[in-house]
Structure 1
Amino acid sequence: MQSPYSSVYKRKKPGVRSSSVANATKLDLTPNTFDFFLPCPRGLEGALADEVKALAAHSPSLKVGTPAPGGLPVRGTLTDAMLLNLHCRLPSRVLLLGGRCSYADAEDIYHLARDLAWEKWFDVTQALRVDVTAERSPLESIKFAALRVKDGICDRFRALTGERPDVDTAHPDVRIHLHLRELDALLYLDTSGEPLFKRGWRSEHGAAPLKEHLAAGLLRLAGWTPGDVLFDPLCGSGTLVIEAAQIAANRAPGLDRTFGFEVLRGFDANAWSALREQARQAVRPVAPGQFFAADIDPANVRMTLDNARRAGVEGAIAAEPGDVVAALPPVDAVALPAGRAAWLISNPPYDERIAPEGEAADDFAPQLARALKQRFAGWHVALLAADLHWDRALRLKPRRRIVVFNGPIECRLMLFDMVAGSARGQ
């Protein structure tokens, strides 16, 4: 992918900095294409690249870069940014690169923020928020660097208009993201607003819920396809089955929410309306008998059905209370038509949902393994385990282990093909 930087700040001796607007990459409405970065949970970068390539097949201006740790760079138009926000399930945001600089201290970052043409995108009446992330940054305080970004933006508006924009950390109109690397700082304009995993259908959730973008990523990594049966016997608030049902229904994940780009200058309301209408027309019905959920807590079952209703897939999901160690297959995997498979995919928790009688967590893994071996022959199984001792405790040999991160927690997605005699030492 061609570099977007015609010129950037060059790192010189500490205390020596450029302050000319001409030396910063500018936020501008020309040219018509921009560089974006799509952050995602670590371990999903390749799957995200595949997802965006499928969209790029319908948009020649959308170019996919090489996956980087924690995300994917792409290049495209503002309409492509709308397309990515509307249809992508795996990223957490779509960030438009405004500029970057090499830096010796936070003042270099202040000058970058001050010299970028933010007025091309929003005005002084819109409240902003600045977030910061860092990898190997030499700065002692990354929070101070974020503060200097805010100062730079506000000082620019004050110089242009005599006023400063407000800062609102709770409900900002505009979000700015600073990412600090070891040698350079990057400033992004957030086109998403609320994180993309907030699809707009969740009213409540249980303890430690699986975020929607990670759930969609697990489905992809496991190998589940939209025609396959899916059963989550530890469904919690229903995230996995709802994501899968929406995929099967070809329902865009961003169809029922708003986005940050809608309040930016240069926003093409007609193009957005056309994209959203195309997405609505593409939704297809999903017949019952494909998606099943269960949980030992009846409140979680009610929550799953309520969330499914708001997500537009209530009729596609059957959910009922049940103990996973006594679960029965909702369909006969062997009897499925050719080309269709049955999947049990779940994120087993360590809490009262799996230990109603007070069993220790270490006792649960072999109980689950025994249930899978005895009753789920012919099924494909994918379990996300944050406890790396699960591999031994299950006494099942996975055909594959995939490292994926749930936030900062390193997990293993363990894949099994259940056949008779697949357990060891039982």
Structure 2
Amino acid sequence: MMNHYFAICPRGLETLLQDELAALGATELKITHGGVHFAGDWAVCYRANLESRLATRILWHLVTGPYTREDDIYRLAVRQLWPNHFSVANTFRVVTTAIKCPLKSLDFVTLRVKDAVCDRFREDAGERPNIDTRYPDVSVHVFLTADRCTLYLDTSGQPLWQRGFRRASVDAPVKENLAAGILKLSGWQPDTPLVDPMCGSGTFLLEAVQMALDRAPGLDRHFGFERLKKFDAALWTHIRNAALARVKNPAQLDIRGSDHDERAVRAARRNLEEAGFSQWVRVDTADLLELSAPAPAGTLVANPPYGERLGEQEELAAFYPQLGAVLKRHWAGWNCFFFTADLRLPKLMGLKPSRKTPLYNGPLECRLFEIRMVAGSNRKP
């Protein structure tokens, strides 16, 4: 059975997500802001949830229709055969998002769709399911444009960036799917060295080692589609087992992380240990300004702090020139990638980026700066 879906992702990663979904067997791919529309059978849906490193959610498209007021949305929703999709014993919630919606209250839209789902269950099954807004079994998603309403069922459950590995965390981590996208944009390959000198709780390190092992990011979690009535347990077991059998076991990898904060180093080590990846990644306590490259060439990726207060910005304005000097002196031959919302970074470092990729960290507009440290060009005789 061919279905239509919408895969949500961090803004800026849509083209990469399109390529990833195509490789998983998706068809009818169409990019839009913040995601990709695609088509496929249930096997494609299962694989997209299991394998996608970039998607946040995979939503199953049910219906799209016109509206001018809330009652139109209610009628569209109440016509759907909800008892065919999930059991009355499942809890559910309704999530509403909109672009250029003329209606005054999205909360009221959410309430009307919830009423429609419950009314349909009462009519068809004689009872209604319960609401759980925090940890529901099933999520109904409503998306409104200026005059169209689309209803989806979530096939993912918890967001796909929740791999289940990052048990310990420090302040302001980058989400896993954004970290994976940054690594893909860097062009890093597992047979080359990778260094994250501001590793925090180890998100880049965790994503890199999974890529190197060809390990599907969803192997250690459950998904929303397992709660739907159309769930094919035998098909899912076959797809999951195939992904499990594909996992590599390399003798060694050159993936390194460090941080000047001992608390962050402990968190990164704990996360890698509990994920079973510690044998492939080295994490040390170190100040980036005192580090030297561990090899003649490789990829450096970092998410440096970007101060929100004036004092922090002044500290960074003093730090960036020192960082630029260290890169020139000790990292010749490396491709360096800095993900930041502080657009002053390259200028204050005194280095010209070869590429600037706009990305969003949630609602925050950022840049991924690529700075190629050409071997020999910055070395004094």
Which of residues 299, 304, 321 is equivalent to 1:348? 304
**Is contact 2:155–2:225 with CA below 8 Å preserved after alignment?**
yes
Report what 2:343 is aligned to: 388
Shift of 1:420: 5.4
Report what 1:24 is aligned to: none
Which of residues 78, 88, 91 is equivalent to 1:124? 88
Indicate the SS of the match to 1:271: helix
Report what 2:292 is aligned to: 328
Aligned partner of 2:372: which letter? D
Where in structure 2 are the equivalents of 1:198-217 lying within 5 Å? 198-217=162-181
Report what 1:9 is aligned to: none
> Do residues 293 (structure 1) and 248 (structure 2) align?
no
Aligned partner of 1:160: which letter? D
Report what 1:401 is aligned to: 356
Where in structure 2 are the equivalents of 1:18-417 lying within 5 Å? 32-56=1-25, 62-333=26-297, 342-350=298-306, 360-417=315-372
Indicate the SS of the match to 1:163: coil
Shift of 1:65: 1.0
**Is contact 1:93–1:196 with CA below 8 Å preserved after alignment?**
yes
Shift of 1:314: 1.6
Equivalent-residue separation in structure 2 for 1:244 and 1:175 (angstroms): 31
Equivalent-residue separation in structure 2 for 1:143 and 1:228 (angstroms): 50
**Is contact 1:397–1:422 with CA below 8 Å preserved after alignment?**
no
Instruction: Give a deviation string over 1:141-162, Cα, whole Å, max 9, x none.
Output: 1121111111110111111222
**Is contact 1:241–1:292 with CA below 8 Å preserved after alignment?**
yes
Equivalent-residue separation in structure 2 for 1:133 and 1:85 (angstroms): 21
**Is contact 2:91–2:129 with CA below 8 Å preserved after alignment?**
yes
Report what 1:23 is aligned to: none
Equivalent-residue separation in structure 2 for 1:366 and 1:421 (angstroms): 20
Indicate the SS of the match to 1:318: strand
Indicate the SS of the match to 1:67: strand
Instruction: Give a deviation string over 1:232-281, Cα, whole Å, max 9, x none.
Output: 00000100111011001000000000001111101111111111111111
Aligned partner of 1:146: which letter? T
Deviates more, 1:180-189 or 1:307-316: 307-316
Equivalent-residue separation in structure 2 for 1:166 and 1:38 (angstroms): 27
Report what 1:26 is aligned to: none
Shift of 1:366: 1.4
Shift of 1:191: 0.4
Instruction: Give a deviation string over 1:314-340, Cα, whole Å, max 9, x none.
Output: 21100010111111212232xxxxxxx
Deviates more, 1:71-80 or 1:360-369: 360-369
**Is contact 1:373–1:421 with CA below 8 Å preserved after alignment?**
no
Shift of 1:189: 0.3
**Is contact 1:45–1:70 with CA below 8 Å preserved after alignment?**
yes
Shift of 1:224: 1.5
**Is contact 1:383–1:414 with CA below 8 Å preserved after alignment?**
yes
Equivalent-residue separation in structure 2 for 1:343 and 1:138 (angstroms): 47
Indicate the SS of the match to 1:151: helix
Shift of 1:213: 0.3
Equivalent-residue separation in structure 2 for 1:253 and 1:215 (angstroms): 13
How many percent identity over aligned positions? 43
Equivalent-residue separation in structure 2 for 1:64 and 1:329 (angstroms): 44
TM-score (norm 2): 0.95
**Is contact 2:168–2:270 with CA below 8 Å preserved after alignment?**
no
Residues 100, 422 of structure 1: CA spacing in aligned structure 2 closer, same or farther, 3 A cutoff?
farther
Equivalent-residue separation in structure 1 for 2:322 and 2:70 (angstroms): 55
Residues 393, 160 of structure 1: CA spacing in aligned structure 2 closer, same or farther, 3 A cutoff?
same
**Is contact 2:83–2:125 with CA below 8 Å preserved after alignment?**
no
Indicate the SS of the match to 1:194: coil
Aligned partner of 2:4: which letter? D
Aligned partner of 2:278: which letter? E
**Is contact 1:344–1:381 with CA below 8 Å preserved after alignment?**
yes
Indicate the SS of the match to 1:164: coil
**Is contact 1:85–1:94 with CA below 8 Å preserved after alignment?**
yes
Shift of 1:287: 3.4
Equivalent-residue separation in structure 2 for 1:359 and 1:325 (angstroms): 18
Query: Cα RMSD over matched residues?
Result: 1.8
Aligned partner of 2:48: which letter? L
Shift of 1:64: 4.2
Instruction: Give a deviation string over 1:64-96, Cα, whole Å, max 9, x none.
Output: 412111100110111211111010010101100
Shift of 1:389: 2.0
Indicate the SS of the match to 2:24: helix
Equivalent-residue separation in structure 2 for 1:314 and 1:36 (angstroms): 36
Shift of 1:108: 1.1
Shift of 1:109: 1.1
